[in-house]
Each structure stands twice: as structure tokens, then as C-alpha cells.
Amino acid sequence: MDRFIIRGGKPLHGEITIGGAKNAGLKLMVAGLLTAGRLVLTNVPRIADIATMRDLLVQHGVAVEDLTGDGSSYSIGGEITNTEAPYDIVSKMRASILVLGPLLARCGKARVSLPGGCAIGTRPVDMHLKGLETLGAEIRLEGGYINATAPKGLIGDRVILPFASVGATENLLMAATLAKGCTEIVNAAREPEIGDLVACLNAMGAKITGSGSGTLIIEGVEVLHGAEHRIMPDRIECGTYACAAAITGGDLKLLGGRVDDLGAVVRALEETGVEVTQESYGMRVRRTGALRGVDIMTEPYPGFPTDMQAQFMAMLAVAEGASMITETIFENRFMHVPELNRMGARINVHGSSAIIRGVHALSGAPVMATDLRASFSLILAGLAAHGETTLSRVYHLDRGYEAVEKKLAACGANIERVKG
């Protein structure tokens, strides 16, 4: 099992290219199920989750062609020959549940494994299923599978989401593109990745308005056609490397980074004393003074993203004064706290909040990754710590970050991947 060895204490300086967004790319690949034409995606992130999604689409019978040979561009589309998404693939990646809506819309039936729980929380799919039932689907849960049919086809209706769920919004949005009549999704999630999905679907012939407003209006069409779409830059990757500049006292140019996509993350960085500017090439992030403690609460977009919580916690562990992070999205997303405390951090968890009392320095230690974002929080801590940090179970990291050790080493980090 691979691990990283990090020898900290070096400020990072240089350039890092921000790749395509994981949280957009996965859903855009699923959109390929909606057409017999060819959906061409460029700026595809070369990460493990993309490979898993490719495997899922292929077993549905859809052709997935690597256009460049390096996994950065795919052509997706064709006839669907299998409407079942099996447990052995869905269990690897929760985004697999998003094939449910497109399969129903195009084929009138789908059998998709329930994803179950995951390390950071349960993330139930109730809203997906209730929303699809509102659109005319008949759903039965049997043997750990969702068995869904739409005997009369999906029919547009008004769906009110009790929570601005990203996954439910995306599933219903894709399903509604081929439904009869008009669908209105109220309290829709407003994340930039959903805007990217809307732009792609409209390029394929969908009729969707209201992106970013919290209410999406979808006029169903009979068929969608092929299109070409460039996946947006990954705002979470960008924010993560911004934290790397901040925690090491460095100065990084994040090529392709967009301040507007990060919103609350940029404001929080500036509160800690970090300078963030939008430049022609992307974002520049630098820290010249001490970090200051801040209070943060995770919220749906445009609030502070839960996917940046762990990275900020590592950074605030070496900030002056006390900070508090309150997690409102997932109930079990503080599993990195014991590992950070092993490195000398002073963090106490009280229910859904973590109190962080900044320390002068962290110390390298053997630590273990528990989920995707937590794994990078431990890299950040290792970059700032005195001595050597060994991070194991980095397969979590490979799910969502591309060439981490190469990008960091190019900016002066002492980090290496050890195969094992």
C-alpha cells in the first residue's frame, strides 16, 4: 500500500496547474447516458474516481473512448445495453447513484445498488427517490437495490427539495431533461459544478434556465444530441493548494484558479491574513505574516464548503489564537482530528464543532488517512511540521487529487511516494 513521506518546514513557491473538477467531471460523464450521440469532455481529471465512473458506464454498454491516450479527454455515448448498476462498482463511489435518473429517463427502467454509508456520513438517497417518484417513477427497494421503472415515461412536475442536496439536484436535473413537459426544482443546490452540468446539458439540446438561482426550470425534450464541453477547474483542489501556500508561509500561482468559484473560502483565507488575488493566469495566494484564528461554519454553496473543512483545520492548527469550525453537512467529518493531534495540534471536538487552539509548530509523526479531504489535511500538516511525517492509506487521496507529490515537489516541498 502506497504511502507519502513528507519532511516539512519549507515554504512553497512556484506554480501549480489546477485540474478539471472531480465534482463536475463525474456528473458530466454520467450525462453521456442521456444521448446516443457523442459527448466529448476535455480537461478531465486523471484520478481514480474517474476511472471507476468509466468502468460503470462501460458496463452499461456505453462506449467510452480515451481520445488523447492520457485520460484527459473522453468521448462518451451510444446505446445502453444494461440498466443495472451493480454493488461492486457503486460501493466504490457514491456518485454512481447518479446513473439512476438518466437510465430512467432514457430507458424507462433502472436497477441501481443502494450506496450505503461512507466514512464521513450516511448521505441518504431519499431525496433522489422521492423526487423521481414525483416525476412519475415507480420505485421498490429490494435486496439492497433500487428498482425503478417509468411505465408512462417521466412527466415534468414541481419538486421541492427539503435540503439543497447537490446529488439530488443533479439526478433530478438530468432525468428531467428527457421528461414530458416542464419540471421545476425548488431549493436546488447552487454549486458552480451544477452550473457546469447545466451548461453541458444545454449544449446537448436541453432547455434549462435558472442556474445558480436555487430554482431550476427544465423544459423536457425528446432527445439530446452530442456536444463538446470543457470541464471547469476544480475549486476544491484550488482551495487546497491555497491552504498549502498559507500553512507554509509560501507564495503560489494557481493556474486556472478562479476566485469567484471559491467565494467563502477566499474570504476565510483573507480573514486569516492570507493575500488572495485574481490574476490573468489564475489565482495568486501568498502569506507574509502570521496566520490568525477564525471561526467557520460549513454550509451549502455559497457558504463555506464541507470539502474544505479538513484543510482549514490543519491550517488553523498553527494559527495565532483560537478558532472554531462547525460542521453542518456531514455528521462524521472530524476523523482527521486525532491524527492532527498526534502531530501536536490542540483540537477538541464538542458535538458538531471543533475548537482549535493554535500551536507554535507541529511535529512530524506517522498518520493515517481516513477519507479524501482528510488525507490532504495531513499532507498540509506534514508540510508545515518539523521532522518527518509518514502518511499511509493514500489511496483515499488518489480518488480526487492528481499527481499530488509532483505538483508539491515542483514548488519546493520535500515529499515522496513510497510504493508498498
Angle between helices 126-134 and 166-176 (to 10 degrees): 30
Q: How many whole angstroms separate alpha carbon 88 and alpha carbon 297?
A: 35
What is the maximum span of the chain, computed from C-alpha positions, in angstroms?
Answer: 65
Q: Is 22 annotated as a binding residue?
A: yes
- Fold designation for 3-19+233-418: UDP-n-acetylglucosamine1-carboxyvinyl-transferase; Chain (3.65.10)
Closest by Cα among 270, 259, 266 to 292: 270
DSSP sequence for 117-134:
-BTTB----HHHHHHHHH
Q: Is 94 annotated as a binding residue?
A: yes
Q: Residue 215 carries which side chain, given as an amino acid letter?
A: T
Q: Is 109 annotated as a binding residue?
A: no
- Fold designation for 22-230: UDP-n-acetylglucosamine1-carboxyvinyl-transferase; Chain (3.65.10)
Q: Where are the alpha helices (DSSP H) in 204-303?
A: 235-248, 259-262, 264-271
Predicted pLDDT of residue 94? 84
Q: Residue 66 carries which side chain, given as an amino acid letter?
A: D
118: annotated active-site residue: yes
Q: Where are the extended beta strands (E) located within 67-126?
A: 73-77, 84-85, 109-113
Mapped onto helix, strand or coil, the DSSP state of residue 64 is: strand
Q: Is 126 annotated as a binding residue?
A: no
C-alpha cell at 35: 444521448
Q: How many whole angstroms separate alpha carbon 269 and alpha carbon 105?
A: 42
Catalytic residue among 118, 200, 238, 243: 118
- Neighbour count for residue 256 (Cβ, 10 Å): 18
Angle between helices 22-31 and 166-176 (to 10 degrees): 20
Predicted pLDDT of residue 107? 97
Q: Is 247 annotated as a binding residue?
A: no
**CATH 3.65.10.10 domain range(s) in the chain:** 3-19+233-418, 22-230
Closest by Cα among 378, 395, 308, 370 to 341: 378
Closest by Cα among 415, 393, 412 to 404: 415
Tell me the average confidence (pLDDT) per consecutive run of 10 residues in the chain, 420 residues long. 96 98 98 98 96 96 97 96 95 92 98 68 77 97 94 96 95 98 98 98 98 96 98 98 98 98 97 98 97 97 96 98 94 90 98 97 96 93 98 93 97 95
Q: How many whole angstroms separate alpha carbon 164 and alpha carbon 160?
A: 9
Pairing relationship of beta strands 227-230 and 215-219 according to DSSP bridges: unpaired
Q: How many whole angstroms separate alpha carbon 377 and alpha carbon 335?
A: 11
Predicted pLDDT of residue 123? 52
